A and B are shown apart, each in its own frame.
Chain A
Amino acid sequence: MAAAMALVRGVRFGSYSIGRSRSLIFNSLQRRGIAACVDPSIGLTDEQKEFQKVAFDFAANEMAPHMAEWDQKEIFPVEAMRKAAQLGFGGIYVNPDVGGSGLSRLDTSIIFEALSTGCVSTTAYISIHNMCAWMIDTFGNNEQREKFCPDLCSMQKFASYCLTEPGSGSDAASLLTSAKLQGDHYILNGSKAFISGGGDTDVYVVMCRTGEKGPKGISCVVVEKGTAGLSFGKKEKKVGWNSQPTRAVIFEDCAVPVTNRLGAEGEGFSIAMKGLNGGRINIASCSLGAAHASVLLARDHMCVRKQFGETLSNSQFLQFKLAEMATKLVASRLLVRQAAVALQEGRPDAVSLCSMAKLFVTDECFAICNQALQIHGGYGYLKDYAVQQYVRDIRVHQILEGNDFFCLIHVSEILYVKLLQI
């Protein structure tokens, strides 16, 4: 056994040593002979294992080799995403009759977790695109579904979710973008901030105020790029998520046909929140993928890096640290998958579970990736090594689609109300 281990290390030295190019480092992600304890395919059905396999293969072959370039050059990888759409990743939980794949929330979580190992930022955008496609599929009428969904599912067109404004983030219901009815058009005025894909995408799902203050006055309309009065702010410079552009979306007397409204007036906020429940699971799943990849990278580094006469993998402290990271990864994965199942079954605890999952998982996974960077020592800080990109990319997961603080408010509201009912 010792001889075999020595051989394994010897072989690794030949093919992977510190300072080598990234492609060799990424090959380590393909070493799926990882110990069964963190294997993400445990407990899945055969079919789910197939979905996961396709996603892992796609991530390793089509995304991971370009992850760093997309980040450094801020490229929006349209071709790669369209390839993903050809496999069915453009509308994973959208109905098949409009081009979607009709899979469950759990299947979706598994897929995003696997894709994320290839590039967190791109996968996160794909998940936002999926969320928008689902909203139109679920809340749109047949004309709207047939008009928008097929192109979105094939990624012929890309979508953006527009809720946040400069003055309303967590307090989303206080949004100000107004939509005044004039004949058969709404005239939109206002601006949205931090819109993922903004400026490069074609279809904007916009929450705007058609009625009174508060959530009941908000409606959801679909605005197409090229509509007069729709413009964009400058591309934001971000710490991570660089493979998707982020811009302000500005409406100046932008006329949108009433036929582009999803659902009835006043239903917009509810539509937005329902979209976000799934969005939270998706973002948490992306964090899981990054954490999984980081644990593997840390483990591999520990087997190679020598200090004080032996490899880091001989240090009991680091062995325990890695075990801790693995435990938290598995705990996070179980929570996300449970939340996904609750949502797809329409269980009463689904909404709170989604918030809990997002809160817990994004925090834990960031800690795991951060710890993995620490284990890499100085090398972890270099952009030649993937671990820093995982850390930078998932840092924002603790902020958007339900800031940590907001999730805490959300969960405590539910707890408090339940407590009062007793």
Chain B
Amino acid sequence: MLPLRFRRVTMSARVLVGVKRVIDYAVKIRVKPDRTGVVTDGVKHSMNPFCEIAVEEAVKLKEKKLVKEVVAVSCGPQQVQETIRTALAMGADRGIHVEVSGKDYETLGPLQVSKIFAALAKKEQADLIILGKQAIDDDCNQTGQMTAALLDWPQGTFASEVTLEADKLKVVREIDGGLETIKIKLPAVVTADLRLNTPRYATLPNIMKAKKKKIVNVKPADLGVDVSSRLEVLKVDEPPQRQSGVKVETVHDLVEKLKEAGRI
């Protein structure tokens, strides 16, 4: 059995896509009165926008017949099945629900999730993992990178363009300096950035077909992953209220004020 890294990618390629259930981007976030987190009860949730882009890319690869199967994965309580169903309605073939609930779910972070993904990648013999570049609730931007490190796979992060060429992936990355193009060998991890694609609307027939697609339940313990966190959240606050500014009449006044504030 060849090590994962040397397997050639053929039409039997399998893609794992991570989808995270987050508070809907349009919702106004409120901090809980006890300052331990934000209010999530009764608040509209939906799929992380970058995860939608990741699903779209995977489904596109399948439509181009470059990969055979797209598996949508989500970690969390029962409600994340809605998010997996959305991925299935967009074209994923089956889903895996990694059950994490209660306190474990509140403290679930990129390190534990990347361990789960690494274990699943081996179990499912995935050739490609596509994730969103970051989640809009924690903005960590770590899961993709950590997953690649745990698997010792190459990574193409902040992808704005992905092209499969035989067993190599050409990834155009959006970096601070501009656009960087790299070629990485499969199997690999890719994280999707905003301009990678425009996610499709699920069609009514696809939503109905999604009902028949399977979602399998798995526990982290089954994958040999310990989900306890090394981090403890001490407190959560809103950003400080914006103070009103001061208008000055002359440049002289401006310099005085800046000196007073100790800025110059």
Contact = CB atoms under 8 A, between A and B. Distances in A.
A4 B202 CA distance: 35
Given A4-B238, A36-B42, A101 B30 contact: no
A8 B28 contact: yes
B26 A54 contact: no
A27 B86 CA distance: 23
Contact of B24 (A12, A33, A88): A33
Interface residues of B, number: 29
Given A6-B241, A8-B28, A32 B44 contact: yes
A417 interface: no
Which of A4, A49, A57 gathers most chain B CB within 10 Å? A4
Contacts of A336: none
B28 A11 contact: yes
Contact of B204 (A11, A49, A54, A57): A54
A7 B238 contact: yes
Nearest to B200: A87
B235 interface: no
Given A54-B204, A87-B201, A33 B241 contact: no
Contact of B43 (A8, A33, A87): A33
Which of B33, B207, B208, B239 gathers most chain A CB within 10 Å? B207
Contacts, number: 76
A36 B42 CA distance: 6
A47 B89 CA distance: 10
Contact of B211 (A3, A47, A88, A102): A47
A86 interface: yes
A168 to B, nearest CB: 36
Given A32-B26, A33-B27, A88 B205 contact: yes
A76 interface: no
B204 A88 contact: yes
A50 interface: yes
The secondary structure that dominates the B interface is: loop
B185 interface: no
Contacts of B28: 8, 11-12, 31, 33
Interface in B16-61: 24, 26-28, 30-31, 33, 42-44, 46
B62 interface: no
A77 B167 CA distance: 45
A46 interface: yes
Interface string A59-101: 0000000000000000000000000001111001000100001
For chain A, give the interface size range.
20 to 34
Contacts of B201: 54, 57-58, 87
Contacts of B204: 51, 54, 87-89, 92, 101, 103
Interface string A225-237: 0000000000000
Contacts of A47: 207-208, 211
A166 interface: no
B81 to A, nearest CB: 8
Contacts of B31: 4
Contacts of A54: 201-204, 207
B152 interface: no
A101 B207 CA distance: 10
B202 A49 contact: no
A50 B33 contact: no
Contact of B203 (A49, A53, A86, A102): A86
Given A6-B241, A33-B24, A46-B85, A96 B30 contact: no
Which of B31, B81, B204 gathers most chain A CB within 10 Å? B204
Contact of B238 (A3, A30, A103): A3
9 contacts: A30-B26, A32-B24, A39-B44, A46-B82, A51-B204, A54-B201, A54-B203, A54-B204, A103-B208
